[in-house]
Chain A
Amino acid sequence: MAFLEINKINIDYVTEDGVVEAVNDIDLSLKEGESLGLVGETGAGKTTLAKCIMRILPERTARINSGEIFYKGTDLLKLEPEKMREIRGSEIAMIFQDPMTALNPVLTVGEQIAEAVQNHQKVDDAEAMKKAEEMLELVGIPAARSSEYPHQFSGGMRQRVVIAIALACNPKLLIADEPTTALDVTIQAQVLEMIQKLRTQMKSSLILITHDLGLVAQNCESVAVIYAGEIVEYGTVHDIFKDMKHPYTVGLFTSIPKINEDVKRLTPIPGNTPDPVHLPKGCKFCTRCAYATEKCQNEHPELYQSSEGHFVRCFLKGQGGEKYGKQ
């Protein structure tokens, strides 16, 4: 069994406007030490999936309808809350998007890292604080600043504190949810290099959630493209970047101005992401796809294997994608 295996997970949010199908039948697996990129736009369900792995979905509104998440052979969704709490933070850790809100403003950064350590390891306060200072040094912040409060740090440094907390217990799986979206490019590069360095040291796996294709290309081995709660394409970083098949994946690439190419005019994906309360019946992308046929509107496509390990959810079997790409 794989290190992490997600089987047919379905998550809904119950809202006043109706049921939002946030994650629909997602299958994913991750090997030990592998880094996977989850790519998609706002509302695609990336964060919902991550929170589901961590089991931190809002209990009142979120509903896990079906599915299993096996971590080293145990189904996380069936674990007792106490058992899950042991795994959360020590085995699986998450880096949140916004370093401005992820930290407690009334605790020093040292205390916050030490707290994470003491939750999982039987150490006294002094030892935990020592570990906290080590972690700070590791992420490039002088240990002397451990007694300072979050507001005394810049955005980039706060994100490094968040990373220090996530890594304090040497997690085997690190989930980074848009870890650098709030940061400037030079700081973003620093932070990602640091995550990669620590990851190799600790041999942990990484799930990187982002909308930035550049970050995925530079940091991930495999990629899952998510649209309206579904995986529309999955493969190695080469499959996705060099041999993309799904019209949505192609559309993402033609939408971004590229630093290494000159394009006079961008080719955007027309329209908007569908209303999650009223998703299209057939292919979820059919309302925006230039190649949609009647079949696409009425039947829901399954993933097909286009080449070894490269899966695409499209009736066109690559024809549409190729046509798109040649435009």
Chain B
Amino acid sequence: MENSREKILKVKHLKKYFNTPAGILSAVDDINFSIKKGETLGVVGESGCGKSTLGKSILRLEEPTSGDVYFNGKNVTKMDKRELKQIRKDMQIIFQDPYESLNPRMTVSQLIQAPMIIQGIYKKSQREEMNKKTLEIMEQVGLARRLVNTYPHELDGGRRQRIGIARALALQPKFIVCDEPVSALDVSIQAQILNLMQDLQESMELTYLFITHDLSVVKHLSTRIMVMYLGQMVEMGTPQQLFTNPLHPYTKALLSAIPVPDPDIKMQRIQLKGEVTSPINMKAGCRFAKRCLFAKEVCKKENCPLVDVGQEHYVACHLVQQK
């Protein structure tokens, strides 16, 4: 079963709880997984399921409540500030909203150079080399040279997201958390950015954690996909496993809700009861039980562990496991 490729990232029992006036919100609750080098792990789920918090906790942009994150064998959660700054060269993030994640008072070149300066890659005397490198990166992400001194507000969403990608690439990272990088873009631009990200992955041997709510995008890009619900992983498998043989009732419902762009295929939607709530003060039992059409007594009482049902297809559901 073990692939020969090394595991670049291992996440063990990762938890991130927030204190809210209503109680403790378990945004990320005991998540375990690993990513192999060069892989894309897609993370899907609806708003509020904790997928962004998961990405940020891995990079320690949010301080995890407990659990461990191993990057190339080193425990990121135990690192002090200096070590963390070092490791951030290898671990980067691309944010969702290219309108809000760029400093409006910095030019394109300043934006791309900021990470290099912060990390001390170039000294003051190496201005020229840094400028050369900037142009190289701009070319890599498809930004025209003439844009080097423009400001973000002069550019459209697609180009701004290219800056976001350029910034992440500036330090030649090995691993990038992509937090809904194409959600704010029009379809024709979205396709351009997705192709760019695939090309970069190939040429730079990048590993992605790709967070999105768009199931078509995640199916297109991912080596494996993790489905999250209220802070927990409910299913994980290859796109093939998940899309042809979804096992968890939530995955099934989610897949059945996607409108297929073909008028001859009529949707057979699985109706869900109610809406997603917040994981505040969670009690034992399956978190999906309240909305699940098949929930039994055991589902409401006992937590359901994640079990491998064969060929690294993991699912957390009492009903599947009883079969």
Identify the A interface with B (CB < 8 A).
Answer: 41-42, 154-157, 184-189, 192-193, 211-219, 237-238, 241-242, 251-260, 263, 265-270, 272-273
Contacts and interface: CB of A to CB of B under 8 A. Distances in A.
A186 B260 contact: no
Closest 10 CB pairs of A and B: A214-B259, A268-B191, A257-B220, A255-B191, A184-B46, A269-B188, A189-B257, A213-B261, A266-B191, A41-B186
B272 A268 contact: no
Given A41-B188, A218-B267, A186 B261 contact: no
Contacts of A188: 257, 259
Interface in B228-267: 243, 253-255, 257-267
Contact of A186 (B216, B257, B262): B257
Nearest to A238: B263
Contacts of B186: 41-42, 211, 273
Contacts of B215: 185, 259
Interface stretch (B11-19, B96-104, B192-200): B192-200
Contact of A189 (B190, B198, B269): B269
A49 B124 CA distance: 54
Contacts of A270: 192
Contact of A241 (B190, B221, B263, B267): B263
Contact of A185 (B187, B254, B263, B266): B254
Contact of B187 (A218, A238, A252): A252
B42 to A, nearest CB: 12
Contact of B158 (A213, A241, A272): A272
Interface residues of B, number: 40
A142 to B, nearest CB: 12
A185 B156 CA distance: 27
A157 B190 contact: no
A217 B263 contact: yes
A70 to B, nearest CB: 29
Contacts of B194: 257, 266
30 contacts: A42-B186, A154-B275, A155-B47, A157-B275, A184-B213, A186-B253, A187-B46, A189-B259, A217-B259, A217-B260, A217-B262, A219-B259, A241-B261, A241-B263, A254-B191, A255-B187, A255-B190, A255-B191, A256-B190, A256-B191, A256-B216, A257-B220, A257-B221, A258-B260, A259-B255, A260-B261, A266-B191, A269-B188, A272-B158, A273-B186
Contacts of B46: 184-187
B161 to A, nearest CB: 12
B220 A217 contact: no
B84 interface: no
Nearest to A265: B195
